[in-house]
A and B are shown apart, each in its own frame.
Chain A
């Protein structure tokens, strides 16, 4: 048992949706022996086969729990678990509490990965998919950011920080636009190649401008405030990881938290919502920002960065980056349509951003 190393697994037509290899199920059983509760039943609720992660729901004599196999490097997972503990125990955040082992530990290491048990919060319900729901999500996000300030990871954990990485990630977007162009040229017979070639120059130009704006902004002085004074971003926050439960909004799935400027989460939530709406709606954006601001006040400097981060061609990049994998399949008619939708939605982005540009004037 000691030498087992958990690796990603394959799923295909023959495996059922939540297939988990036997050796991982065996490890799970071993892990559960370290806890004092009695497991009545366990059920897989989600898997990440390509990364080697999984979540089970446990029914126990001490109520429902979740068991998680974290796919990240153990020292990285220690950062996130430390954060979860801090949020619950020090800050009283509405985040699931970690259940300790019989020996009082927060996690078990098995198969070269960390496993942990947390409380299963019930009932949890998603907010309504409308502006009111969006505002609830934003307010809860602001609360989360406020509460995460001051977190210092345990000494054996890696420090996960994206704070100083913004220029690098903007540069990556610019570089990958070259890749999209080169692939579209190499596969010029494919339906979507011409669509990419038609727009990639202007999107790349946008990204360059965003990077230039970032360099001109107060980004560097914000970074200097340091990791723990900014606190954590969730990195995967949205309509499923923020839900209504006992006493208010709960935030779940904290496994990817990292130090960063908090508005990164807000930007993703808003731009993702706008692309779901197929339209950049000034009222929605303003109301969402305002709801966030009520819980976590935005300064003019942060607002400026939010605007800059909006200006990146986020949706085009996010949806097209897959092209490097099997371009002969990806560059099909569906992708042509997708690009058209992104370009159309983008039409409303600039007037909207222009309109709200000065809302937080210094």
Chain B
């Protein structure tokens, strides 16, 4: 079959900048391409050609970042090429434009997070898109359940296909191929003879690593040899200092337990940090789809402490491969679970071994790819649109559907106010947030200096600059005198 896989507009494939969706696609492609004629369209990146054929897979790369810009290029490509099946990753907002460009292709949709939420896609468009896809693949039961709850009447087949991990790359620290790397990393960072706790993920409020840092004082009273390694940056591959990053650094500085912050580690090297660690902690505070780091920690033979948020607990068998923190807002709850594992060395060891077993048995890319192949087969055999779900009234008057959905409430107890917000606005708002949050990254001294200038005189400064420097000094002085 001729199959097109459409990546998101945010990060390139292969995952040179990381990213869960990009890893998922790249991990399964070697197997999928054995069975089908595959084209992958994604965003361009300076390190990657705009067009290439690699291992029999055709890659097409177009400008992205902003969905509207990306969508235009993708639609144009689909208009000019024909495919039996189009697999769209995590962008329900691409479904209708793609359907317009490819009236006869079957569409499969993969969902990796909350892109069906009402603030991400207008309910009218979501309902229409759900009718055009033959089936939906999700990365956790949690994600599927959210979609079912939002659109109980319109969902097609939803199947969870958990992501995977390369168990030959992610290896336990005592594996012959990892032992030397483990020792050298530990030596390099002063972690010899330490029990190393590992966090790997974005440094953001949602991911909650501050709670782990705040749990350290409690742990330090019981365990004398601890260290914490924090792997990650503000955002994929950006070592920028946000207010949050500054906050956790300020907290880390005052700990008696050493905290090693690595900054961004490229996806190709991250397995080494897992190999160097002794226990993995996921601190997510938000309803996370299901973080990939769980598979990686299991493959690396690490016991896991994770949070009862979103899909994360779905891959933890309590007391077998890890423990679950029920109330992650509270740092002591992390301290408690971590202490439970650290104080029982045999439990700690068994959990690691069990994790590795699970990774090899259940979370290899082979299994992921085989399940995708099954879904594609079903998609091809399915009717062109999700006809059994079609609602004649909607077809005649699509606006009808909007009314009742308007009254839906989200989890804040708000009436659905965000529904008209586009993804771009979202992007913009996020970046706006970062803009305000972010400070001069490299030279904090400069920052200080600028800020001092900025503060009281900010308003006057600009005006002064536009006039002349002499005036400026005088004016500033006036302000001070005032």
Decide whether A and B assemble into one complex. Answer: yes
| A binding-site residues for B, Cβ under 8 Å | 8, 10-12, 17, 45-46, 49-51, 57, 72-73, 75-76, 79, 124, 126, 155-156, 158-162, 164-165, 167, 172, 175-176, 179, 182-183, 186-187, 215, 220, 223-224, 226, 238-241, 243, 253, 258, 272, 276, 319, 321-327, 329
Query: Which among B244, B247, B442 has the highest number of chain A CB atoms within 10 Å?
Result: B247
Q: Are A186 and B251 in contact (CB under 8 A)?
A: yes
Is B153 an interface residue, CB under 8 A from the partner? no
The 8 closest A-B pairs by CB, nearest first: A50-B440, A240-B463, A324-B246, A240-B462, A324-B247, A238-B459, A186-B254, A239-B459
Q: Nearest Cβ distance between residue B458 and chain A, in whole angstroms?
A: 8
From the candidates A126, A158, A179, A276, name the one contacting B424 in the complex (CB within 8 A).
Answer: A158
Q: Are B444 and A75 in contact (CB under 8 A)?
A: no
Interface of B is mostly: helix
* Given A186-B254, A253-B462, 8 further pairs, Cβ under 8 A: A46-B462, A124-B466, A175-B205, A179-B243, A238-B459, A239-B463, A241-B462, A324-B243
Q: A325-B246, A327-B250 are in contact. Are A158 and B446 (CB under 8 A)?
A: no
Is B447 an interface residue, CB under 8 A from the partner? yes
Q: Are A220 and B440 in contact (CB under 8 A)?
A: no
The CA-CA distance from A160 to B427 in the complex, in Å, is: 9
Q: A240-B459, A258-B432 are in contact. Are A158 and B66 (CB under 8 A)?
A: yes
Is B370 an interface residue, CB under 8 A from the partner? no
CB under 8 Å from chain A, chain B span 147-166: none
Q: Are A220 and B254 in contact (CB under 8 A)?
A: no
Is B36 an interface residue, CB under 8 A from the partner? no
Is B460 an interface residue, CB under 8 A from the partner? yes
The CA-CA distance from A155 to B415 in the complex, in Å, is: 29
Q: Nearest Cβ distance between residue A39 and chain B, in whole angstroms?
A: 18
Is B414 an interface residue, CB under 8 A from the partner? yes
Is B439 an interface residue, CB under 8 A from the partner? yes
A126: chain B residues at CB < 8 Å are 460, 463
B244: chain A residues at CB < 8 Å are 324
Q: Are A240 and B440 in contact (CB under 8 A)?
A: no
CB under 8 Å from chain A, chain B span 419-435: 420-422, 424-425, 427-429, 431-433, 435
From the candidates A8, A226, A319, A329, name the one contacting B448 in the complex (CB within 8 A).
Answer: A329
Q: Nearest Cβ distance between residue A308 and chain B, in whole angstroms?
A: 15
Chosen A-B contacts, 11 in total, with CB atoms closer than 8 Å, are A10-B442, A46-B461, A49-B446, A49-B450, A50-B446, A72-B435, A155-B68, A165-B429, A179-B243, A220-B414, A239-B459
The CA-CA distance from A329 to B119 in the complex, in Å, is: 41
Q: Nearest Cβ distance between residue B76 and chain A, in whole angstroms?
A: 15
Write the B16-33 contact mask toward A (1 if CB under 8 angstroms, else 0). 000000000000000000
Write the B61-102 contact mask toward A (1 if CB under 8 angstroms, else 0). 000011011000000000000000000000000000000000
Q: Are B417 and A161 in contact (CB under 8 A)?
A: no
Q: Are B451 and A322 in contact (CB under 8 A)?
A: yes
The CA-CA distance from A260 to B433 in the complex, in Å, is: 15
CB under 8 Å from chain A, chain B span 190-205: 205
Q: Nearest Cβ distance between residue B372 and chain A, in whole angstroms?
A: 33
From the candidates B250, B414, B444, name the one contacting A183 in the complex (CB within 8 A).
Answer: B250
Q: A50-B440, A158-B427 are in contact. Are A240 and B445 (CB under 8 A)?
A: no
